[in-house]
Amino acid sequence: MSAAPMQKPAAQTAPVTGARLVVEALDHFGVEIVFGYPGGAIMPVYDAITGARFKHILVRHEQGAAFAADAYARVTGKPGVCMATSGPGATNLITGIANAMLDSVPLIAITGNVASPLMGTDAFQEIDILGCTLPIVKHSWIVRDPADIPAVFAEAFHVATSGRPGPVLIDLPKDVQVGAVAAPGSPYPLNEPARRVDPAQLRRAESAIGAAQRPLLYIGGGVRIGAATEQVRAFARATGIPAVATLQGLGVLPNDWPGFLGMLGMHGMRAANEAVQQCDLLIVAGARFDDRATGKLAEFAPHARVIHIDVDAAEIGKLRDAHIPIAGDLKTVLTQLNPRRPAIDDWRAQCIEASARHAFRYDAPGEGVYAPALLKELSEKAGDAFVAACDVGQHQMWAAQHCRFAAPEAHLTSGGLGAMGYGLPAGLGAKLARPDAHVVTITGDGSFAMNIQELATLRRYGVALKIVLLDNSTLGLVRQWQELFFDRNFSEIDLSDNPDFAAVAQAFGIEAFRISRREDVSAGIERLLAAPGPCLAHVIIDPMENVWPLVPPGKSNSEMMHGD
């Protein structure tokens, strides 16, 4: 989305404050929801929002505001907006801003600051938030003159959403918020010429694809960001090339797409990793060779030439040389890329056979709840309306492995930063964006406790988010690594003194129940999905259950470990 140049506020007959200009800017750019938390240095803006068209959601912690805005942006494709005061309010946004940076999410973070004369004096609740966030924003501004507010917001919306999206920060000293402006500044010129895709590289790519014997499509999160899902599906259909996806690329191809081999990488499907290791041409669409996907980089796809397509030219060649680099908008590139269908029937059959041979099984022994089977059933029962807001840990990987996603917007996960605590506020933001969808937060007992306060936000606004809390009374993924790579020296992973999470949820006014036996899973899922309001299913699982398969850290994807 490109922001239109902002017009001067209509018919200003009296001076207007900077705070009022902030509200007018947010309304002008079509903001529907601002997630925030007030405090001293942002009070003038909070004073002005009572007349706003957008809705303000009062979270219970600023990190929750940033995560909720992030998820809102991922689901809608529009920028998410969060707001906080100076000092601790601003620093509490930082994890959420970093999350948006690493996953290329358009996020507008607005912070108040102490008045300009006090900046640099260590005043109460003063922090250099511009300096703190420099490495984790696409761009940032301190507004020094209230007349600049329209132009700064216009540029901020443009920067956040154009090219490779990302978070931006606007810091507003208190005197700028209260300062009166007779005539706000003129609109900022935002005409950015569309970048032309190099036709010579397109022809080279077509030639390489047509001649390949074992080509493979490598789908990343850039496909969702570039709204290129349909183009990728058309390309895969036309060429018949098998495909793998990163964690962020799941849902671009449906799980049952013929030739889709699933997720690659550390917890990927064996057939996906094998195909990568055997392919002779890797067509990379909006992926960045993240280490969780590649394993030992020097041994990743050792026989492959690489076609790398990305809107961000600085990603091409960053970690893996591209034989054919194509910098440009994915949708445009894929529309213009029309190779002949390669003769790969044997390769395609080999991939599909391997995928069937290594498919997950759901007949685990025992009577306890088997989390992978529960998640699979949950996503299937929710159907195409299913949207998962995942936390970080074993449950996150199980969700990626076993859930069915109809679209990439159906899988919200903190991929780059891996931020525990994302799931609950992300579910809040997603459900507010998609009230028609079955939005389910999939969380663990470690992650859930990190932003548990947002249960109060669900209750306050009646947000019908569903929560599946997989409780193994331990920090499961850390425990698994200690078991496998640290000689079973289980250090600081025990959470067996967890509270009764169902009782906690009920204390927040949220419907909650417990599932502890396998035979109760189906009825529990049905109860959860049918609940009219927010509802939590507290699911007790085996503390020793591991995520399989697994590529040990630093090893090649060809060295997968299996639990059976």
Partner 1 sequence: MTNTILIHIDHAEGSLQRLIGLIERRGFHIERMTINDAGAGREVRVSVRPRDASRCADLLGRQIDRLIGARRIAPAAAASSVHVEEAVPCPA
Determine which residue in the list 47, 312, 380, 559 makes contact with partner 1, applying CB under 8 A: 312
Task: Give the span between the Cα atoms of 272 and 360, in whole angstroms.
Answer: 13
**Nearest Cα to 428, choosing from 412, 447, 444, 446?**
412
- Residue 317 is a binding residue for partner 1 (CB under 8 A): yes
- Residue 139 is a binding residue for partner 1 (CB under 8 A): yes
41 burial via Cβ count (<10 Å: 0-12, 13-18, 19+)? buried
Determine which residue in the list 56, 292, 318, 459 makes contact with partner 1, applying CB under 8 A: 318
Binding map of partner 1 across residues 153-172, x = CB under 8 A, - = no contact: ------x----x--------
**Nearest Cα to 150, choosing from 54, 53, 21?**
21
What tokens does 139 get?
């761009």
Decide whether 120 or 435 has the Cβ nearer to partner 1: 120
Q: Residue type for 497, please? A: D
Decide whether 324 or 521 has the Cβ nearer to partner 1: 324
How many residues would you count in the chain?
564
What tokens does 399 get?
């969700």
Total number of residues binding partner 1 (CB under 8 A)? Answer: 26
Binding map of partner 1 across residues 91-130, x = CB under 8 A, - = no contact: ---------------------------------------x
Decide whether 145 or 380 has the Cβ nearer to partner 1: 145
Piece of 7-15, 90-98, 310-318, 356-364 that binds partner 1 (CB under 8 A) = 310-318
Tell me the closest approach of the beta carbon of residue 308 to partner 1, in angstroms. 9
- Residue 324 is a binding residue for partner 1 (CB under 8 A): yes
Determine which residue in the list 58, 132, 178, 313 makes contact with partner 1, applying CB under 8 A: 313
Decide whether 67 or 141 has the Cβ nearer to partner 1: 141
Decide whether 143 or 449 has the Cβ nearer to partner 1: 143
Query: Among all chains, which residue has been given the structure tokens 């609109």?
Result: 187
What tokens does 308 get?
């790398």
Structural contact between residues 472 and 539, judged by C-beta atoms closer than 8 angstroms: no
254-276 exposure pattern, b = at least 16 Cβ within 10 A, e = fewer: ebeeebbbbbbbbbbbbbbbbbb
Piece of 98-106, 253-261, 320-328, 357-365 that binds partner 1 (CB under 8 A) = 320-328
**For residue 310, how many other CB atoms are within 10 A of its CB?**
26
Tell me the closest approach of the beta carbon of residue 13 to partner 1, in angstroms. 32
121 burial via Cβ count (<10 Å: 0-12, 13-18, 19+)? exposed
H or E stretch including 511?
A: strand 511-515
Piece of 57-65, 177-185, 312-320, 506-514 that binds partner 1 (CB under 8 A) = 312-320
Checking 495-499 for CB contacts under 8 A at 24+ apart, the result is: 495/445, 495/446, 498/445, 498/449, 498/471, 498/473
Binding footprint of partner 1 on the chain (CB under 8 A): 130-131, 134-135, 138-142, 144, 159, 164, 305-306, 312-314, 316-318, 321-325, 327
